[in-house]
Amino acid sequence: MGFIELYDLWAQDPFFDQETRDELQAIREDKAEIEDRFYKDLDFGTAGLRGVIGAGTNRMNRYTVAKATTGLAKYILDLGPENVKKGVVISYDSRNFSPEFAEVTATTLAAYGIPSYLSDELRPVPVESFSVRYFGAIAGVMITASHNPAKYNGYKVYGEDGGQVPPEAAGKIMEYIEAIDDIRTMKSISMEEARAKGLVKDFGPEIDEAYNKMLTGLVIDSDSIKRNADMSIVYTPLHGSGNKPVRRILESVGFTNIHVVKEQELPDGNFPTVKLPNPEDPAALEMAIELAKKTDASLVFGTDPDSDRIGVAARCVVDGEVTYKCFTGNQMGLMLLDYVLSSKKRLGTLPDKSFAVTTVVSTKLAGAVCAAFGVELQETLTGFKFIGERIKDDDEFGDKHFQFGFEESYGYLSGRDVRDKDAVVAAMLICGMAAQSFDEGKTLADRLEDVYAKYGFGAEKTLSFTLEGKEGIEKIANCMKDMRSALEECGNSEDAKKLLPGRDVIAVRDYDTSVRYEFTADGVNKTPITLPKSNVLLYELGGAKGIDWACARPSGTEPKLKVYMGIYDSDRDLAMDNLGKAEKDIVSFVEEELR
C-alpha cells in the first residue's frame, strides 16, 4: 500500500479515533507532509522506537505504540508460559503522551494475556532498569525520547537483565512487527478489563525505597561527604523525571544544602524554559547557573527528561571573577573514572580483576586511567546496552568486577543493579567527588586539570549534522556509503591520505563489515573486529600520543550524522590547535559529502 492509500485509510477509517482523523484531514493538501508521515513505518531499531508525535505510520502515536507492543507480546509468547507470567515493567517520563502510551502498552500486553507492572507516576530510565530486575520480569518498556526536542517521544524495550534488548532480540521483535499487515486486526482490551483480570498492577514507593537503598551502598568516600555536607549545590530536573530520585539520594547520603531551580522543577513535556531539554548543551544549565551565582553554589548539574544523562558545571574564578565551567561528557567521565578507581585503591576496596567499560567514540584517555590502577578497560559500540552486556557476561556470570562505565554523551554508571546509564547515581558520585576535592581545597575545575596533568591532555569534540525528513536520511546513508567506497579503493598508505583530507589515516575500523584496515606503503592489512556489526567508521590518525582518531556514525535516535574526534598531547595549546585544524578539514569534507 502506497503512502497516499495509507493516508486515506488513517484519515477516513472509523477504526482511528476522531482526533487522529481530524489531524490528518487538516494536512490533506500537503503532499510532502503526507509522504513524510506515511512513506514508511517508524523504525524499530535496537533502541526501540523514537519519533515525532503525531498521526501516521512514521510518527509516535497510540497505534504505532500498540503495533510495537504487539510485536513484543508475540516475542514474549514464544518464550513460553513460564516467561510470560513473569510480566513486563512499564515506566514513563514527563514527555507529552507518555502516560497514555504507557497505558496503551499495558492494555495491549494484557490483550495477549501478558501481565504488567505499571508505574504509578513518572520515573526515570535507571529506575525502570532496576525495576525489571527487582520484579524478575521478562521485559520492560520505557516511554521516553530521552533528550530529544519536545515534539518527540519514544519506546525503549528492556530485557530481563534490565539492559536494553540486544540486537538479536530486537530483530525478532521487529520481525513480528513487520508481519502485521493491517493494524486494525491487533488485539486490544480496556484498562478496566485488564485490571479486573489482574493483568495490570501498579507499582510505586516500594521501588523508590529499594532503588535508593541500593544507591546508598555505592557511596565511595562517605567521610568527605560528612565533612562537606553543607556544600552549596544547585540542581535542575529540566522538567523531567529526575527531581524526586536525585533529591532523595543526595539527602540520604548527607548533603543538606541543595537548591532546585523552581521554574524547571515540575514535569512539563513542552519544556518551556529551554530550547532543548539536553544537559549536553550548556544553554540548558543557564537558569541553574544563575541560581548558583545567587546561592554561591560550588556545583551545578541538570538531568534530562528520563534522567539517564547529566550535565555538570563547577564554580571557578577566572581573572578575579566567579564563573562556572561546563564539563564535556568525556571530561566528566574521565574524572569519575579516576575518582572511583583512585578512591577505592586508597580505601582498599578495589578488587582484583576489576574492569571498566567505555565506547569506541569516547575519550581515549580512559585507557591511561585504567592502566594506572591495573584495571582492564573494555570498549564497546555506542549504546549502553553493550555496557550492560559486559556487566552481565563478565561480572554477574563471570569472575570479574565492574567498577564504572561511561560514554561521551553524558551517560555514566556505577554498580550492577542498573543496566543503563544512570544520572541519579552519577549525581551522587559527582557530588561526592566534589566533596573530596573540597577536602584538598580544590574545585572540580581544579580536579580536571590534575587529571590532565597526570594522564595527558585531550582535545575532543562531537559534531552533529542534522538533516530532517526522508531526503535527509537518504543523504546520510549515501554519505556513509561513499566513505566506504573510498575505503575499499585504498591500496596503500598513500591512497589513505585521501580518505580524510588533511589527515594522515593510519587505519580504519569498519564496524559494519567487521574489518580493520591498516595501511602500509606496500598495501593493506585486514584484521577482524570482534564487536557486533554497526554502521560506524573509525579513523585512526596517530598523533603525538599515537591515539588521535575521528569517527562517523548516523545517530540511532535522531536524523543526524555524528562525527567524533580526539587529539591528544602533553601540550594543551598544540592539542587545541590541531583539533581546530582537524575540525575545519572534517566539517568541509562532510558538508561536501552531504550535498
The C-alpha atoms of residue 298 and residue 96 are separated, in whole angstroms, by 34
> The pTM is what?
0.94
Which stretches does DSSP call E strand in 237-309?
258-260, 299-303
Q: In this structure, are 180 and 259 located in the same domain?
A: no
Residue 590 pLDDT: 92
Q: From the candidates 94, 131, 146, 534, give the one annotated as an active-site residue.
A: 146
Q: How many CB atoms lie within 10 A of CB 497?
A: 15
Q: Which of 159, 176, 203 is the last residue of a domain?
A: 203
How does DSSP classify residue 99?
H
Alpha carbon 499 to its chain centroid, in Å, reads 29
Inside any domain, residue 106: yes
Of the three residues 413, 435, 455, the one that is the final residue of a domain is 455
Residue 318: what pLDDT?
Answer: 85
One domain for residues 357 and 301: yes
* Number of domains observed in the structure of the chain: 3
Does pLDDT of 557 surpass 70? no
In the predicted structure, residue 558 carries a pLDDT above the cut 90: no
User: 3-state DSSP call for residue 249?
Assistant: helix
Judgement on whether residues 303 and 420 belong to the same structural domain of the protein: yes
Residues 473 and 389 in one domain: no
Query: Is 473 within a domain?
Result: yes
Q: Decide if pLDDT at 137 tops 70.
A: yes
Asked if residue 235 belongs to a domain, the reply is: yes
Query: Percent of the chain having pLDDT more than 70?
Result: 99
Kindly state whether residues 479 and 408 are assigned to the same domain.
no
Interacting residues of 238 by C-beta distance below 8 A, sequence separation 6+: 264, 271, 274, 277, 279, 284, 302, 303, 304, 305
- What is the C-alpha radius of gyration for the chain, rounded to an integer number of angstroms? 24
CATH number at residue 441: 3.40.120.10
**468 pLDDT exceeds 90?**
no
Is residue 322 in a domain? yes
pLDDT given for residue 433 in this prediction:
98
* CB-based contact 236:146 (threshold 8 Å): no
Q: 145, 175, 203: which is the final residue of a domain?
A: 203
Domain span at 192? 40-203
pLDDT band at 471 (very low <50, low <70, confident <90, very high): confident
Residue 192 and residue 291 share a domain: no
Give a yes or no: residue 128 inside a domain: yes
**Residue from 261, 72, 251, 267 nearest 150 by CA:** 267
210 in any annotated domain? no
46-61 burial, b if ≥16 CB within 10 A, otherwise e?
bbbbbbbbbbbbbbbb
Residue 119: is its pLDDT beyond 80?
yes
DSSP-assigned beta bridge partners for residue 519: 524
Q: Is 146 a catalytic residue?
A: yes
pLDDT digits (tens, 9 = 90+) for 58-69: 999 999 999 999
pLDDT of residue 344: 97
185 plus 44 within the same structural domain = yes
Do 293 and 322 contact (CB within 8 A), yes or no? yes
- Say what angle helices 205-216 and 125-135 make with each other, to 10 degrees: 100
User: Do residues 127 and 168 share a domain?
Assistant: yes
Same domain, 333 and 408: yes
pLDDT band at 167 (very low <50, low <70, confident <90, very high): confident
Residue with cell 534488548: 165
**Pairing between strand 152-159 and 49-52?**
antiparallel
| Residue 29 placed within a domain | no
pLDDT digits (tens, 9 = 90+) for 291-325: 999 999 999 999 999 999 999 999 998 888 889 99
One domain for residues 94 and 178: yes
CA dihedral of residues 46, 153, 211, 273 (deg, nearest 10): 140
Assess whether 444 and 465 both reside in one domain. no
CATH of the domain at 504: 3.30.310.50
Q: Please identify which residue in the block is written with the cell numbers 535508593.
A: 212
pLDDT at residue 319, as a whole number: 84
Residues 354 and 439 in one domain: yes
Residue 209: inside a domain: no
Q: What is the pLDDT of residue 97?
A: 98
Task: Give the mean model confidence (pLDDT) for residues 223-250.
Answer: 97
Q: CA separation (Å) from 159 to 81, 347, 420, 591?
A: 17, 35, 11, 39
| H or E, element range at 321 | strand 321-326
At residue 317, the pLDDT reads: 86
Rounded to the nearest integer, the mean pLDDT of the chain is: 95
pLDDT tens digits for 335-381?
999 999 999 999 999 999 999 999 999 999 999 999 999 999 999 99
Cα–Cα distance, 91 to 582 (Å, whole number): 42
Q: Report, as an integer, the average pLDDT of 531-559.
A: 90
